[in-house]
Chains A and B, each alone.
Chain A
Amino acid sequence: MSETNEAILVMEDIDKSFPGVHALDHVHFDVRCGEVHALMGENGAGKSTLMKVLTGIYSKDSGKITFEGREIEFHNTREAQDAGIVIVHQELNMVGDLTVAQNIFIGREFMKGFRIDDKKMIEESNKLFDELKIQIDPKAKMSDLTVGKQQMCEIAKAISHQAKVIVFDEPSAALTEKEIEDLFTIIRDLRDKGMAIVYISHRMDEIKVITDRVTVMRDGGYVGTLITNDCTKEDIINMMVGRVIYEDPKTESHVPADAPVVLKVEHLNAGRMVQDVSFELRKGEILGFSGLMGAGRTETARALFGADPKTSGDIYVNGQKVTINSPQDAVKYGIGYLSEDRKRYGIVVQKSIIENSTLATLEKYMKGAFIDKAEEEKITQKYIDELSTKTPSADTLVVNLSGGNQQKVVIAKWLVRNCDILIFDEPTRGIDVGAKNEIYKLMNRLAEEGKSIIMISSEMTEILRMSDRIVVMCEGKKTGELDIAEATQEKIMDKATRDIA
């Protein structure tokens, strides 16, 4: 990487607002040929939004994007692709039932008359893989590949578009250490060939290893750009976190030794993603579930909650064996599930806070055949006050609330129901930094009040900060259990990657 290189892509003064949120506040970003430029920031800092503006998924309100010296504005990802800017997404956009080659050339298949020329696509795929020095069979079905291999295919696809700028959006989230090393080899190789690479991540160690420069964003604003070699980890962390102080990390379990077991799961099986999982949850405990993306944690929670069918396994609530075949059953036994994807699985966004709060408990708010709306509003208001949900009124539509406040509405729904076991799946995903701390405080308070919490989280800091005990999963199996007193990032990572070759 030479410092003298001209920037191939410059984004200046980019501004973007959504109703109620100033998502990007005059952000600067540029990337040069032959460099790896990290884009860092907490969840909700605006990294992804910025990249979506770049590739035309969102249109910017103001600002200027210059690419190869010309001002540009893409209207969709296709236009960006054609110009040579490609994103490798965190969630892979692959069609599982097609072959590797078919996926790489999807939308621009080689034709032989009216027929698709599969042979040529396989040849071309092999050429790409050779160039990347990786070994994948182009004839293999995409869904049979590991997440890491699938990602390699995404990269191959990006290169086949004659990309000049490749954006990696948290590429390592689902990868094993070995796979990450392979990925880095490829990235270095691409860089040396003169490509400009944007690397989005919040794993500090990787940033030091792979990138040349770092740009930090916070709360939609541009904080600064540093040369990686000239700065320390702490510099970057300070820029990312700013003034926000989190709840103190736990050093030891807050659960008394004689706390009763409220939930016991034995030999739970559900498809490929949940294999023979057993664990116990005690009263007042926060049980962290750690692991890589795709480790089967969400699947375990959903199977336990009855959201997905399970093949076998026993569940005991307060010592009693129970049968949970549907969410109705789970709710009956006082289990509440807060999904990682609130908008799809947690709330009804087009309905009011009141309607969402009593959704799981409506039968308690009936006067004969009619809904007792006054009572409904009273209980909703009670939890708005108790959780300090920021809203103009109880009948505001949930769609108009911020992520943190939407999460509070989901929490309220289960508290109204008086659930004693709460499963928080990625409780702070997509929630801005300030609100995050509030959610942490709230979870701690609930635990102190005697609720038992299962917390699934992909953020190591969150796991170490909140949990009393930690269950680690890998490829659908439980690979370890650690008390918070003995848990370290290294120990958890070791268990989280144990079964992966």
Chain B
Amino acid sequence: MRLSKFKQNPFVKKVGFNRIILFCVMILMYVAFCLLVPGFFGKARILSVMNYVYFLGFLSLGVTFVIATGGIDFSIGPVMFCCALISGYTMVFKGAPVIVSIIMSIIIGFIFGSLNGYLVSYWTIPPFIVSMASMNIAKGVAAVYTKTQSVSWPLSTDPDNGWFRNLVSYNGFPVGLVIFLVAAAICMIVLNNTKPGRYILCLGSNEEAVRLSGVDTKKWKMLAYVICGTLVGIAAIFFVGAYTTVQPGYGDQYNNEAIAGCVMGGTSMVGGLASIGGTVIGVLIISLLQEGILALGFAKDIQLIVTGLIVIVVVYADVMARRRKN
């Protein structure tokens, strides 16, 4: 068969057949939107999609590590908002310089990641429960700290703090994309070529066998959550860099989108299998879809329905793929 021959091609094998298919889907989607929506084609739309890609990309990269261990993190969206709210409030209402806020945001993400990881690994509380709880804690802490006010990060016209927007785009050049791709490349190397990555993938596949090989599985499992939390802290900067304002009590919607992007890219929900390249394409597709749905004239709520359905479909595909293998 010609298809199986194509699958055996060294390049195809290295990149992964599924990723190539996914990439084609993305191109087709883009073409479809261009045909359906007058004026969709062009730089402006692409930059608008990119604004979504940056923050969602970091969320998705982070959650890829967690899902690789066989866990799940439903707190990433609200934690991202918590990071942006607390560090932004400190800047806007207490006069901290933006660089302090950026570091603060990353540290808050790191703390939430460590907390989640510690509870999952050492107290062996199911990840589902831990992340649901820390989602509420993140929302609550942010609301208390900001006295339930929304926070707007400085605009690029702000003489002192506006420079941070250059991280997203500099004179129309998408700096954010470069940073995101570099981050993805680092994640890819960590996952495939370093000890933590190897252990995270192996323990995701069979934790007990890895433990009985004399590996400190608790430590490495916790690390996956810490990496995730840190990336969430970075995601917060790109979110406000693109959308300026954050409101306490929100952020849940991005959980689904980040997880959808990750699983769509070939990371298995039961753990052990992860593809950073796949996650990147998955994030592009989800972001393109959000933009496309709005451009087609549907209400924002339709986005929720669509991503909800996508999560079900891609996870089901993952389940079926595994069943066939067995």
Q: Could you say which residues of chain A place their CB within 8 Å of the CB of B199? A: 362
Q: Is the CB of A347 within 8 A of B209?
A: yes
Asked if B45 CB lies within 8 Å of chain A CBs, one says: no
- If A345-B209, A363-B195, A371-B195 touch, does A351 touch B214 (CB 8 Å cutoff)? no
Q: Is the interface on chain B under 10, 10 to 19, 20 to 34, or 35 or more residues? A: 20 to 34
Among B201, B205, B208, B216, the residue within 8 A (CB) of A328 is B216
Asked if A339 CB lies within 8 Å of chain B CBs, one says: yes
| Residue interface bits A326-367, CB-to-B below 8 A is 1, else 0 | 111011100001010000111111110001000110110010
Closest 8 CB pairs of A and B: A331-B214, A360-B213, A348-B206, A359-B213, A350-B205, A348-B205, A328-B214, A370-B193
Within 8 A of A (CB), among B182-217: 189, 193-195, 198-199, 201-202, 205-206, 208-216
24 A-B contacts (beta carbon < 8 Å)? A307-B211, A326-B216, A327-B211, A327-B215, A328-B216, A330-B214, A331-B213, A331-B214, A332-B214, A346-B212, A347-B209, A348-B205, A348-B209, A351-B201, A351-B205, A359-B210, A359-B213, A360-B213, A360-B214, A366-B195, A370-B193, A371-B193, A371-B195, A417-B214
Q: Could you say which residues of chain B place their CB within 8 Å of the CB of A339? A: 212
Give Cα A331–Cα B212 distance, bound, in whole angstroms.
9
Asked if A413 CB lies within 8 Å of chain B CBs, one says: yes
- If A348-B272, A349-B205 touch, does A359 touch B194 (CB 8 Å cutoff)? no
B56 CB, nearest partner CB in chain A, Å = 28
Q: Could you say which residues of chain B place their CB within 8 Å of the CB of A373? A: 193
Q: Is the CB of A344 within 8 A of B208?
A: yes
| Residue interface bits B270-292, CB-to-A below 8 A is 1, else 0 | 00110000000000000000000
A contact residues vs B (CB 8 Å cutoff)? 305, 307, 326-328, 330-332, 337, 339, 344-351, 355, 359-360, 362-363, 366, 369-371, 373, 399, 413, 417
Q: Could you say which residues of chain A place their CB within 8 Å of the CB of B216? A: 326, 328
Q: Known contacts A328-B216, A413-B213, A417-B214; can you find 19 more A-B pairs with CB under 8 A?
A: A307-B212, A327-B212, A327-B213, A327-B215, A331-B213, A331-B214, A337-B212, A344-B206, A345-B209, A345-B212, A347-B206, A347-B209, A349-B206, A351-B272, A355-B202, A370-B189, A371-B198, A373-B193, A399-B325
A359 CB, nearest partner CB in chain B, Å = 4
| Most chain A Cβ neighbours within 10 Å, of B209, B210, B216, B273 | B209
Interface secondary structure of B, over-half rule: helix
Q: Is the CB of B195 within 8 A of A344?
A: no
Give Cα A344–Cα B211 distance, bound, in whole angstroms.
11
Among A327, A355, A370, A399, the residue within 8 A (CB) of B214 is A327
Give Cα A130–Cα B195 distance, bound, in whole angstroms.
62
A340 CB, nearest partner CB in chain B, Å = 12
Q: Is the CB of B206 within 8 A of A369?
A: no
B173 CB, nearest partner CB in chain A, Å = 31
B310 CB, nearest partner CB in chain A, Å = 25
Q: Is the CB of B208 within 8 A of A359?
A: no
| Most chain A Cβ neighbours within 10 Å, of B210, B211, B214, B215 | B214
Q: Is the CB of A350 within 8 A of B273?
A: yes
Q: Is the CB of A369 within 8 A of B213?
A: no
Q: Could you say which residues of chain B place their CB within 8 Å of the CB of A355? A: 198, 202
